[in-house]
Structure 1
């Protein structure tokens, strides 16, 4: 195999790492005025589509374990974007909901997707195709838990 094929720059891992970092950097100027980090943005976006959610369900949807999502949720709660309350039907579960303040930034949060698509010069079809490819890579059909 040639040196070109063995170099880090030709590896799928490197390309994915670079693309993920670029995505975070592209979001930053849109998120800073809202007072959100990239992971917090993902949480708010998910909650806007279906709150309240349990911490476990939210973490599962975002691919985050409780050790990652709990501190994130605490910071969002301190900032006034979400509430965390015990589920009255099951005290073991904590339900996360969006506050009025969180809903107020909803339109701005949702607009970021179009701004990123434009910055990446992707069509809606291109975004959809890329998302499907990445989802298939992240969650292969034969993966076991």
Structure 2
């Protein structure tokens, strides 16, 4: 089996999944030198977890038709085809969870805040060591 074409009808990004929805004329395979078109008789989507990048509906069955002849293939058969995996990954890659910048920014803000407090504590200690009363009171106000 060879993947001739794999184009999604549409792609939907959900909180935890990327759903690649298939339709007629968008997905075709070559089996025994004959082209079969995808038909949505059984499964009609590929569901991939956004964090793990794993296909979650691995046991689904897909139907392919050539004239009156319909062939059913499991997702496990399809994932055994390197070209299928390559095309699927290129479709889903923009939707995979990467380290969100907002989370990274929040983490770095927290770290900076902690470092500033430590620095302030050191400056207060220095003011106490040098008996600089005015600096001490100003620094305590910043806590």
TM-score range (shorter-chain normalised) is: under 0.3
More strand by share: 2
| Greater relative contact order (Cα < 8 A, sep 6+) | 1
Higher helix share: 1
Question: Whose Rg is larger?
Answer: 2
